[in-house]
C-alpha cells in the first residue's frame, strides 16, 4: 500500500496566489450600483483595504503572497493531502480517493487562508478594527485568529441561531480576543429595522453581512472583511489547489474529478482554479461544486444581478442567486446557507467550465459518518457534501470497474458540530428540498434597473 500522507516541506509552500481572471475566456462582469451604473473600484475602499480592492479587479496571473502572511501560514501549512486507503477498501472500489485536509488550521477550516491575508492588508493600511459576519462560526473564528495575529480589534456579527446553537464557536472567537454579537442586533440601523418587524428574527448570513458592512461604512478606523464570494477571497484560497497539484505530482497522479462543498465558493475556487488551465488545454478533468438541496444556488438559482446582503448595502453582483431576502432553512451545514455565490464560480459554471450538483442532508451525514469510521477524521457538515459526492463516484467506479482518481477538499473538521451529529444519530434530522415556488418568487425581488 502506498503512503497515506503526502506532505510538502514549508519551503515548498507556494509563493504566489493564482488569479484565475487572467485566464478566463470571458472577463468578469463589473459590480453595479442599484441604479445600474458601474461601481468604480475606488468606491470599495470605503470598507476594504486598498490592496484587497486592487486584487479584486486585478488581471495579473500571479500575485505574491507577502512574507508576513507566509510566516503565519507556516503555523499549519502546507496542509496534508491524504490518500483515503481505508475508505477505498471499505467501499471496495477500484478508484483512488485523495482528500486535501484543511481542518489542520487553528480555526479548523480553510477560512484562515484568506483571513490572515485580509488582516495583514488592513494592518498595512492603518486600520484598527475589523467587522465581519459568521454563520457556522468558521469564518468568524478565522478572522478572530487573524486579527489577534496582527493586533487588530475584531467584532463578529454571528447569525442568532448559530450564536445560540454553537456556544463553543463563540468561546473560540472570544479566546482570540474578538467581540461576538448575535445578529440581528440593536447595534446597527439594519438590525434595529429587522428586530422592529420581528423581535424573534433568527438571523441569516445576509442580515449579518448588512450589519457588519453598515458598521464598517460608518467608521474610519474600521473595515469590513468577507469570508467567501469576493474575487480576492478566492484568490487567497488558491494556495489549496496549488499545494495539491504539487502533492499529486510527488506521487505521479492527477485527478479525473474534483469535488468541493460550495457555500459562497471560496474552497471551490481555491481548489479548482489552479486546475483550470489544464482543462482549457484539453485535459479531461471534471470540476464539481457540491451544494445542499436546501440551498441550491447554482443548480436551481437565477443567474442575475443581486445584492450580496439582505438589506441591499453591498454592490450588485452578477451571480447565481436564490434572492437576497432568502431565509435559509435550518439545515446543519451553516456555512452553505447563503443565497448567492461567487461571481467567478457563477460565471465559470454558466460557461460550462465548472459543474455543480446538489445533495440532501441525510445523505451527507451518512457519508460523513462512513468517512469518520474509516479515516478517523470527523468532518464539518459542509465538507460532508463533498465526501458524499466522492463516495457516490467511487461506488459508480465499483460498478463500471474504472480506476478513476477522485479528489475532494475536506474543508474543515466537525469538532464544534457534534450537536448536529447527535441530532442525526438520534434520527432527528430531515431532508429538505428548497421549494420551486420560493425559487420562482425570488425573481420578483431581484433588483430591476
Ligand X SMILES: Cc1ncc(COP(=O)(O)O)c(C=O)c1O
Q: What are phi and psi of 67, to 5 degrees?
A: -55, -40
Q: What minimum distance in Å lies between the beta carbon of 415 and ligand X?
A: 11
Instruction: Give the nearer residue to ligand X in terms of CB position, either 55 or 93.
Output: 55
Please answer whether residues 83 and 4 qualify as being in contact, where contact means their C-beta atoms are separated by less than 8 angstroms: yes
C-alpha pair distances (Å), 346 with each of 153, 161, 269, 387? 33, 28, 10, 22
Please state the closest distance from residue 226 (CB atom) to ligand X, in A. Answer: 10
Binding ligand X by CB under 6 A: which of 230, 235, 298, 380? 380
User: Which positions from 389 through 418 interact with ligand X, judged by CB under 6 A?
Assistant: 411-412
Minimum distance from residue 236 beta carbon to ligand X (Å):
11
Least distance CB 418 / ligand X (angstroms) = 14
In the bound complex, what is the minimum distance in angstroms from residue 333's beta carbon to ligand X? 8
Three-state DSSP state, 172: helix
Q: Provide the grid cell at 207.
A: 442580515
Stretch that binds ligand X, among 184-192, 197-205, 263-271, 390-398 (CB under 6 A): 263-271
**Grid cell for residue 182:** 448575535
Give CA 26 to chain center in angstroms.
23
Q: Does the CA dihedral 181-183-184-190 come out positive or negative?
A: positive
Segment interacting with ligand X (CB under 6 A) among 40-48, 77-85, 266-274, 436-444 = 266-274
- Sheet of 153-159: strands edge to edge? 179-183, 153-159, 129-134, 222-224
What is the rounded CA–CA span in Å between residue 27 and residue 191?
36
335 binds ligand X (CB under 6 A): yes
Q: Mark residues 208-237: x for contact with ligand X by CB under 6 A, - for none.
A: --------------------x---------
Q: Is the Cα dihedral 163, 166, 168, 172 positive or negative?
A: negative
Q: Cβ closer to ligand X: 17 or 139?
A: 139
Q: How far is the CB of 351 from ligand X (least distance, A)?
A: 19
CB 135 within 8 A of CB 208: yes
Chosen residue from 266, 294, 347, 360 binding ligand X by CB under 6 A:
266
**Which C-beta is closer to ligand X: that of 317 or that of 397?**
317
Which of 105, 109, 118, 222 is in the footprint of ligand X by CB under 6 A? 109
Binding mask 58-97 for ligand X (x = CB under 6 A): ----------------------------------------
Residue whose CB is less far from ligand X, 73 or 139: 139
Of 183, 364, 383, 420, the one binding ligand X by CB under 6 A: 383
Which residue is it, cell 447565481?
Answer: 320
Q: Interface with ligand X includes 336 (CB under 6 A)?
A: yes
Minimum CB distance to ligand X smaller for 88 or for 102: 102
- Yes or no: say if 280 and 420 are a contact pair by the CB < 8 Å rule: no
Nearer to ligand X among residue 202 and residue 412 (C-beta): 412
DSSP conformation letters of 315-377: PEEEEEES-TT------S-GGG--S---HHHHHHHHTTSSEEEEE-HHHHHHHHHHHHHHH--
Burial (Cβ within 10 Å: 0-12, 13-18, ≥19) of residue 165:
middle
How many Å apart are CA 289 and CA 259, to the nearest integer?
6
Q: Which of 261, 274, 292, 296 is the binder for ligand X (CB under 6 A)?
A: 261
Query: CB of 282: closest distance to ligand X in angstroms?
Result: 28
Judged by CB under 6 A, which stretch of 66-74, 92-100, 250-258, 262-270 contacts ligand X?
Answer: 262-270
Residues of this chain, 131-190, that bind ligand X according to CB under 6 A: 136, 138-139
Rounded to an integer, what distance in angstroms lies between the CA atom of residue 346 and that of residue 358? Answer: 15
CB of 123 or CB of 337, closer to ligand X: 337
Interacting residues with ligand X (CB under 6 A) = 109, 136, 138-139, 228, 261-268, 335-336, 380, 382-383, 411-412
Amino acid at each position: 500500500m502506498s503512503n497515506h500522507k503526502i506532505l510538502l516541506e514549508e519551503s515548498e509552500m507556494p509563493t504566489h496566489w493564482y488569479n484565475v481572471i487572467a485566464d478566463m475566456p470571458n472577463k468578469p462582469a463589473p459590480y453595479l450600483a442599484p441604479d445600474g451604473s458601474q461601481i468604480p473600484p475606488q468606491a470599495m475602499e470605503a470598507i476594504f483595504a486598498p490592496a484587497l480592492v486592487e486584487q479584486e479587479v486585478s488581471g495579473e496571473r500571479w500575485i505574491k503572497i507577502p512574507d508576513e502572511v507566509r510566516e503565519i501560514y507556516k503555523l499549519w501549512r502546507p496542509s496534508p493531502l491524504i490518500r483515503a486507503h481505508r475508505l477505498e477498501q471499505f467501499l471496495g472500489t477500484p478508484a483512488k480517493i485523495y482528500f486535501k485536509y484543511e481542518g489542520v488550521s487553528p480555526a479548523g477550516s480553510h477560512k484562515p487562508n484568506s483571513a490572515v491575508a485580509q488582516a495583514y492588508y488592513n494592518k498595512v493600511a492603518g486600520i484598527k478594527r475589523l467587522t465581519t459576519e459568521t454563520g457556522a462560526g468558521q469564518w468568524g473564528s478565522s478572522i478572530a485568529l487573524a486579527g489577534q495575529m496582527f493586533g487588530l480589534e475584531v467584532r463578529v456579527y454571528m447569525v442568532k441561531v448559530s450564536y445560540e446553537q454553537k456556544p463553543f464557536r463563540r468561546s473560540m472567537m472570544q479566546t482570540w480576543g474578538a467581540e461576538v454579537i448575535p445578529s440581528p442586533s440593536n447595534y446597527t440601523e439594519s438590525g434595529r429595522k429587522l428586530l422592529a418587524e420581528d423581535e424573534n428574527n433568527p438571523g441569516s448570513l445576509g442580515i449579518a453581512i448588512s450589519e457588519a458592512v453598515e458598521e464598517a461604512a460608518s467608521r474610519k478606523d474600521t473595515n469590513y472583511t468577507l469570508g467567501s464570494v469576493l474575487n480576492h477571497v478566492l484568490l487567497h484560497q488558491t494556495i489549496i489547489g496549488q499545494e495539491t497539484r504539487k502533492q499529486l505530482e510527488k506521487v505521479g497522479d492527477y485527478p479525473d474529478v474534483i469535488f468541493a462543498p460550495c457555500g459562497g465558493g471560496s474552497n471551490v475556487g481555491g481548489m479548482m482554479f489552479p486546475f483550470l488551465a489544464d482543462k482549457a488545454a484539453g485535459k479531461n478533468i471534471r470540476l464539481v461544486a457540491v451544494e445542499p438541496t436546501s440551498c441550491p444556488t447554482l443548480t436551481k438559482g437565477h443567474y442575475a444581478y443581486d445584492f450580496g446582503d439582505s438589506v441591499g448595502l453591498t454592490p450588485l453582483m452578477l451571480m447565481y442567486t436564490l434572492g437576497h431576502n432568502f431565509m435559509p432553512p435550518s439545515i446543519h451545514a451553516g456555512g452553505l446557507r447563503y443565497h448567492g455565490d461567487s461571481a467567478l464560480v457563477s460565471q465559470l459554471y454558466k460557461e460550462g467550465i465548472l459543474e455543480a450538483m446538489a445533495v440532501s442532508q441525510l445523505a451527507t451525514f451518512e457519508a460523513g459518518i462512513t468517512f469518520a469510521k474509516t479515516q478517523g477524521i470527523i468532518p464539518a457538515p459542509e465538507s460532508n457534501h463533498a465526501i458524499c459526492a466522492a463516495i457516490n463516484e467511487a461506488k459508480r467506479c465499483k460498478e463500471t470497474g474504472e480506476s478513476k482518481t477522485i479528489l475532494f477538499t475536506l474543508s474543515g473538521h466537525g469538532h464544534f458540530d457534534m450537536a448536529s451529529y447527535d441530532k442525526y444519530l438520534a434520527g432527528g434530522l430531515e431532508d429538505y428540498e428548497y421549494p420551486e415556488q420560493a425559487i420562482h418568487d425570488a425573481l420578483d425581488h431581484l433588483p430591476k434597473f
